[in-house]
Structure 1
């Protein structure tokens, strides 16, 4: 089942690095929603965790390098989600796929809210930053 319908008007933030990472996130989440194979689900969940770690590290780096005022709050949200994902990954890898599926099914709500608020604020900041020429916009 497709969990996140990609909508450019809703999901694009206007910073190429962030937009491509968000599209990849959406693809992984949707593959998790579609697979019925337990071993594929486990593998995809690890892929989602690794992707999300890289995704958040990129955003954290962009925020730190450009002096984003909402850095602490945004980073704390990243840390909270990663902590939760690590915990759920332990459950998934131990065979509790229902626990993992419930988490994955809730990701679209979280993603929409996070992209609409925190990521859009970061994108506005990045586009206005003096270093904006170094970001693909």
Structure 2
């Protein structure tokens, strides 16, 4: 299952954030293309990439003084919680769950970027 989300992400006109979103889209697209046997190995690095992306974005937003900063951080924390919650089950071989979480993450990101970034 391929997520293919580049075209679905809004461009914000902030080069650092837009580039970060495109890197994340690349990661999501790549994991969507791997075979089930590889998915389990790809999931932890994907979560790490998302953590890194969120951390970088939060630092940038804090420096810029984004008004909705706290709400934004809370949204990131909720998504990371869902990813971490699914991780043990993905590692145990529940690839369908992992793929579902990745697909939901992609949908969430489209909304999140459009409404909060």
**Normalising to structure 2: TM-score of the pair?**
0.89
Q: What is aligned with 1:4?
A: 4
Kept in 1: contact 2:36–2:95 (CA 8 A): no
Gaps of 5+ in 2: none
Q: Work out the CA distance in 2 between the residues paired with 1:105 and 1:111.
A: 10
Runs of 4+ in 1 over 6 A off after TM superposition: none
Q: Work out the CA distance in 2 between the residues paired with 1:44 and 1:15.
A: 29
- Structure with bigger gyration radius: 1
Q: Work out the CA distance in 2 between the residues paired with 1:59 and 1:41.
A: 26
Secondary structure class of the residue paired with 1:13: coil
Matched, 1:33 2:32: yes
Kept in 2: contact 1:32–1:44 (CA 8 A): yes
Gaps of 5+ in 1: 120-137
Q: What is aligned with 2:99?
A: 101
How many pairs does the alignment contain?
117
Q: Post-superposition shift, 1:102?
A: 1.1
**Normalising to structure 1: TM-score of the pair?**
0.77
Q: What is aligned with 1:18?
A: 17
